[in-house]
Amino acid sequence: MTGRSRPGRSASRTFEALPPAKGSRAPFAVSWWGRAWLRSIEESSLDSGRLSRGRTYARGGAVGPVTVTPGSAAARVQGSRRTPYRSTVRVELLTDRQWDRLLDMIAERAANIAALLDGEMPAGLADDAAAAGVPLLPGPRDLDPECSCPDWGYPCKHAAALCYQVARLLDRDPFVLLLLRGRGEQELMGELGRRDTARAAAEGAVSATTAAGPAGSPARTGDPAGPAFASRTGLPSLPAPPPLPDRAGRGPALVDSAVPEPGVDPAALELLAADAAMRARHLLAGALGTRHADTAPPVPLTEWQDAARFAAAHPTPDVFARIASNCGRTPGELAAATRAWQHGGAASLDVLENPWNPPASLLARAHEALRADYWADGGPPRLRSWRNRWTVEGHAAQLRLGRDELWYPYAKDRGTWWPAGPPDTDPAVVLTALLTTCPAPPAQRCANRK
């Protein structure tokens, strides 16, 4: 442990056991840092079957209170025997030099501290840390699971259950990840406060020296910008951001106004103004959000994507008829595209129209997830696969994998596949919901729903 941080014994947190969630299809991690933790254990596992049983154990409430200390998380996990096993997952501690780099990166921006206190891990911080040689997020083989059970699996199902439960804790509090790397929340906030005080004092000394001029010379009085730059209080504060309106405005009423200019459609102008107001409110909501600094700029839409977006945002017969007559697509194609956009935007529209060949590893993990969640019921239904599409035999139901690694539900009606709901990371969640709404015989029941 030479050169490693040596935190005190007080740097420890114990979390109460999470309640059972049997039958739930909710993902174990929603946050990007929680998913990074799961990828680390899933990509390094030597047996996907043990991971599946670990998920079942975690959802079944088999994991007791979890104690997180610098470098490890531990809990007792109830297996098939009466006495629970002691499971641990270890993480390498950051060195003191790595912590210095990381703390400097956090202190450079007040938004980093605000995000952490708000329960968010700034994405830019993790990227900058990795570039500086500070492995904040674990990668493959960075987690070292151990268990007192006789199973030599890597990991065994008990340690896997602990790892999935820790992902839930990380989702709730990013300071859990920082504690695993070696520093607790109080220690971190105290160190950040000291760095901020030292930086303010250093900047004040530099300002005073600049205002006084070279040694032995009088202070400069003829430089009108000197006092402003020498004192923080001399700089004007930024104006407060505008409040977010409850709803977007409709814009001016043009239909009943005076005679319009030749070639101008007042109803279309009203609709475009309303759409612009709606999009402006959406952008303002994103700008006022806590993660605006880490949000990528919007990608420009194609003409067809914008047509689907517009029809989904303004679902009226008049709008649909106008777009259908000018977009060069059939009404059926526009209807399917509109429904796809409502369920997931541009990514969902891509799933509707463009089949692709996913990596074999993604499909293998999905098969394991289905087998794990349906194991008590004799396994999942039979599926016919073609590229990124899995059709359920005996049902008018289909799963489609998007390039965003989400699974999208589809139902068949009158020979056409239609988007049937929102996507999910877990194919078992999508399949269960889809078979509930489209049970056999599906042809009549799905048709009645459309």
The tens place of each residue's pLDDT in the chain, 450 residues long, gives: 334 444 444 478 999 988 887 666 678 888 888 888 888 888 877 677 788 888 888 888 899 999 999 999 999 999 878 889 999 999 999 999 999 888 888 887 777 777 787 778 877 787 778 888 888 888 877 888 999 988 877 889 999 999 999 999 998 888 899 999 998 888 888 888 787 777 666 665 655 555 555 554 554 444 444 454 444 444 556 666 667 666 656 656 655 555 556 666 666 666 666 667 666 666 666 666 544 444 455 567 888 888 888 888 877 787 788 888 777 888 888 999 999 998 888 999 999 999 999 998 888 888 887 877 665 556 678 899 999 999 998 889 999 999 988 999 999 988 899 999 888 888 888 888 888 776 554 344 444 343
pTM of the full structure: 0.47
**30 and 24 in contact (C-beta within 8 Å)?**
no
What single string gives the DSSP state of each residue in 70-124?
Answer: TTEEEEEE--SSSSPEEEEEEEPPPBHHHHHHHHHHHHH-HHHHHHHHTT---HH
Type of residue found at 365: R
E strand map for 246-366: none
Cβ neighbour number for residue 164 with a 10 Å cutoff: 23
Type of residue found at 244: L
- Which residue from 76, 91, 40, 70 is spatially nearest to 175, judged by alpha carbons? 70
Cβ neighbour number for residue 377 with a 10 Å cutoff: 8
Distance CA 115, CA 120 (A): 5
Q: What is the DSSP letter of 6?
A: -
Q: Where are the domains of the chain?
A: 13-188, 266-280+300-353, 360-449
Between helix 331-353 and helix 317-326 the angle, nearest 10°, is 80
Distance CA 6, CA 164 (A): 27
As given in the structure block, the two tokens for residue 226 are: 């000197």
